[in-house]
Structure 1
Amino acid sequence: MHKVGNAAIASVTAVSLCSGAWLLHSAYRSDAPPQPSAAQGAVEPDREGSAAPALPPSPPDRIRIPSIHVDAPLMGLRLTSAGSLDVPPADDKNLAGWYEAGTMPGETGTAIVAGHVDNTRGPAVFYDLGALSKGSTIEIGRRDGSTAVFTVDAVEVYAARNFPDDKVYGAAGRPELRVITCGGGYSKTTGYQGNVVVFAHLTGSR
């Protein structure tokens, strides 16, 4: 695989994640998924704090977030013809994806993982992503048998029109991870209005 980095993802968000399919199609539910509080955000994630040494390259195959009961396989994602990050099939509610032309989780740089918040049948893999707190653990199982362990630095929500591409997708000098789903305001006519983004950095491996 030829790594092209995240620079190819320009001025786009994971908008295909954000139709709000469950809420749009359900006559019985009107509640939206949890959103991060201001206390979980940060102007900039901590880029100077302690980090574990980078791991050798290995594709990821699973993501686990124990505090919100996520345990899901990962598929490779590419860019669409419009230059936006593609998304996993919506019909599989327990599936997430990683940007396979970019950084592998555990390598130096910014690795990208994305998944749906819901589908037509109900909550999907990252429905509770906005409930994560700073200090939470994200585990990425890798194809070489190792597990990259990340600690959450911040959880933020952005309106689509103000999505900070450089902050989310930009290069990092240590192993970092972004986990993205949809969130923000919700409209039954247009779906979710933005994205929830988790910022994390590598703090261990096993």
Structure 2
Amino acid sequence: MNVLIMGAHGQVGQHLVEELKNTGKHTPIAFVRKEEQVKEFENAGVEARLGDLEGSIEDIQERMDGIDAVIFAAGSGGSTGDDKTLLIDLDGAVKVIEATKARNIDRFVMLSAMGAETRERWSDELKPYYVAKHFADMWLEDSDLNYTIVRPGMLENEDAKGKVLVKDTITDNDIYSIPRADVAKVLAATIDNENTYKKAFEVVTGQDSIEDALTNL
């Protein structure tokens, strides 16, 4: 499959591009917002398409030629304000969902956040972020797309461990974090794993291989 990665230049996105490129099972295509990022990916042998999540649905659609699946791994980042969280994490996600539907692309994988589905689990300092994730996830679930929603715990910049715990909801575990590299591996593994279709789940570092964890969902 040709997989369009929204937020390909982000921390998880870069891991995901490398994961897909190295495994060779699917072809990553990077969606980025700066010309220098396009050149960076092209120099690494990865096709990149210039676009803006704050642009129109029609503009996003135009970047979807030849795409078989979409992974939304974009985010406004911790250094921006609540306005950008709404514009990128919520409205940007919804526009990509609508563009995907308009192009008759069926497969959509969403990078969300642990606890996004339950208001009681939202921290006060990150509440706008959780609001954005909550409603973007709901929009996807109501879209009729063949979705998977991946909700990782606290993201860490460590080497991939390749061992995870996957459950609908994780509230009784000693570990609530996961390396970004492992999140990328999980996202990649869901693309054509039928056991993840039309499902949302949380993931943290655990004891199971990613393949086994997804198979046992």
TM score, norm. by length of structure 2: 0.28
Greater length-normalized contact order (CA 8 Å, ≥ 6 residues apart) = 1
Name the structure where helix makes up a greater proportion of residues: 2
TM score, norm. by length of structure 1: 0.29
